[in-house]
Amino acid sequence: MDAVQLSYDSGVSDVPLLGETIGANLDRIAARFPDRDALVECATGRRWTYRQFVADVDALATGLLDAGIVKGDRVGIWAPNRAEWTLVQYATAKIGAILVNINPAYRAHELEYVLNQAGIRMLVSAKTFKTSDYVAMVEQVRPKCAGLEQVVFLDAPEWERMAGATADPERLAAIQLSADDPINIQYTSGTTGFPKGATLSHHNILNNGFFVGELCGYTEQDRVAIVPPFYHCFGMVMGNLACTSHGAAMVIPSEGFDPAAALGAVAAERCTSLYGVPTMFIAELEHPDFDSFDLSSLRTGIMAGSPCPVEVMKQVIDRMGMREVAICYGMTETSPVSTQTRADDSLERRVSTVGRVGPHLEIKIVDPATGLTVPRGTPGELCTRGYSVMLGYWEQPDRTAEVIDAARWMHTGDLAVMDADGYVSITGRIKDMVIRGGENIYPREIEEFLYTHPDVVDAQVIGVPDAHYGEELMAWVRLREGAEPMTAESLREFCTGKLAHYKIPRYVHVVEEFPMTVTGKIRKVEMRERAKEILGLE
């Protein structure tokens, strides 16, 4: 036996993969739990049992057929988190139409790109959300989208007509569907260039939702507060599909993230699980009325999207009662989750790692230069293989070939380390790594250290150009209210003797908030561009 243990692991499971479509799975679960809550929309008070939910899904699916939508057609959904989003998700799956998730924050030019790139025949859209006038933007781009035949606005007569169709179970049953059919296109929030449409099958996302739910211990008794947006895998897969594959309740706290609404939903609906990215949990914990919400029903939840600071995790467990909270790691292209912490993992494991490989999946960490699997404990690029890997980027085989190799491994672009027990730590993006005077520096390590500063609420570290070292470190920090202003000198003083000299940030920039994607991922590309202006490094 080799003395060197390689950074490869596979998820052993005695629970088999689901071989059915999303619609068939929903029907089967609803038949088992017809009278349990399926969906609750807190803002309107609307609620559906599984029996009612399937009836409304089947009515909408029939309405889509009546409107001329057939298997393989692309149907876009452009709306915030509301019940109709979920109905469209399951209705399109029932007829084999491909749901295209459109980011609610998109502006007209991004909408136009997605409508044309995916060849969307029907767009289902909200009329407005926050400051966005969707009706005006649709009117603006419609003449430039030849393939777009129908636009259906929620709350308008055409929506009521389509959603209120008389369900035709025989017509629905006659559609020939395979679990391997594409069912969903999600545009990755490309930090460079136009986004790419990750194309996912029933098999991809139904199983990922199911096994994420399995590792959270979900049963029909669970009620999940789904705070992240539905247009992203976190909301529609880890949220909706994890629930419906277990007979659990999907609870929608609000259309967009609102810390008070999230806490209120948990209290009012007795949620057992709460989802969010770390910035959402920070906002909830910092809410002035936090102590007035009864969160005693919480048992678990998922934190994902970006690394969780130790202090935040401690508070989520102690103050929110989420003793079994899970950390998940993944990407849209892998449906999304590849690794997850388990309910009995220690606090240390939940803050320093993203858990172990999920059931029925394989992961390995390779040397980006040679492609060879590195020994455990050695950093390299994380790769995933298995049922979760996307079919490809929609109509972009060249871009697909850049990330999925000949052996069907998805190359994530993330730097990671696997320990002797198979736990994975993400150390950064390959493109976020800072090389200062020949030293490879991983910003995550410095960010974790900066969280220990008593005045720092959140910290992000980037590399900025430097004539002497090639790159220098810059820390962007959010400070507690009432904290003394932070300077490069005061930060250096705090770090000296605790961090290697070359890891101490040369520059510091205090901010109210970080530039972010809608899913709560920090846009370091934008930070680097802005840093050049701030520091006069153009």
Using alpha carbons, select from 257, 258, 256, 238 the residue that is nearest to residue 248.
238
DSSP state of 404: B
CA 12 to CA 211: how far, in whole Å? 12
CA 22 to CA 179: how far, in whole Å? 8
Provide mean pLDDT across the span 62-77. Answer: 98
Q: Which two tokens stand for residue 506?
A: 């040369």
Residue given tokens 């430039």 in the structure block: 144
Q: How many CB atoms lie within 10 A of CB 36?
A: 17
Q: Which two tokens stand for residue 177?
A: 């569907």
Backbone φ and ψ for 470, nearest 5 degrees, come out as 90, -55
Provide mean pLDDT across the span 236-264. Answer: 98
CA 68 to CA 121: how far, in whole Å? 10
Backbone φ and ψ for 491, nearest 5 degrees, come out as -70, -40
pLDDT tens sequence across 453-477: 999 999 999 999 998 888 999 999 9
Residue given tokens 């959270």 in the structure block: 216
DSSP state of 6: B
pTM: 0.87
**pLDDT score of 167:** 98
Q: Which two tokens stand for residue 348?
A: 């240390």
CA 468 to CA 242: how far, in whole Å? 51
Determine which of 155-164, 185-194, 226-235, 264-273 has the lowest per-residue pLDDT on average. 185-194
> Between 429 and 212, whose confidence is greater?
212
Q: Which two tokens stand for residue 46?
A: 């609307």
Q: Which two tokens stand for residue 142?
A: 């419609």
pLDDT at 440 over 90: no
**pLDDT score of 381:** 95
CA 398 to CA 49: how far, in whole Å? 45
**pLDDT score of 227:** 97
CA 66 to CA 55: how far, in whole Å? 16
Residue given tokens 């980011």 in the structure block: 103
Determine which of 116-125, 181-190, 199-208, 397-406 has the lowest per-residue pLDDT on average. 181-190
pLDDT tens sequence across 475-509: 999 999 999 999 999 999 999 998 888 899 999 99
Q: For each of the domains in the chain, give its residue range(s) and CATH number, in order of start.
A: 439-535 (3.30.300.30)
pLDDT tens sequence across 46-57: 999 999 999 999
**pLDDT score of 213:** 98
**pLDDT score of 519:** 64
CA 306 to CA 429: how far, in whole Å? 11
Tell me if the bond preceding 336 is cis, omega within 30° of 0. Answer: yes
pLDDT band at 433 (very low <50, low <70, confident <90, very high): confident
pLDDT at 2 over 70: no
Q: How many CB atoms lie within 10 A of CB 467?
A: 7
**pLDDT score of 10:** 98
pLDDT band at 30 (very low <50, low <70, confident <90, very high): very high
> Is 51:30 a contact under the CB 8 Å cutoff?
yes
> Is 178:155 a contact under the CB 8 Å cutoff?
no
pLDDT tens sequence across 96-145: 999 999 999 888 988 999 999 999 999 999 999 999 999 999 999 999 99
**pLDDT score of 191:** 45
Average confidence score pLDDT of the chain: 95
**Cα Rg, the chain, nearest whole Å:** 23
The 3 state secondary structure assigned to 468-526 is CCEEEEEEEEEECCCCCCCCHHHHHHHHECCECHHHCCCEEEECCCCCECCCCCECHHH
Q: Which two tokens stand for residue 29?
A: 């679960």
37-40, Cβ contacts within 8 angstroms, sequence gap of 24 or more:
37/223, 37/249, 38/243, 38/244, 38/249, 38/250, 39/83, 39/86, 39/249, 39/250, 39/252, 40/223, 40/249, 40/250, 40/251, 40/252, 40/269
> Between 40 and 519, whose confidence is greater?
40
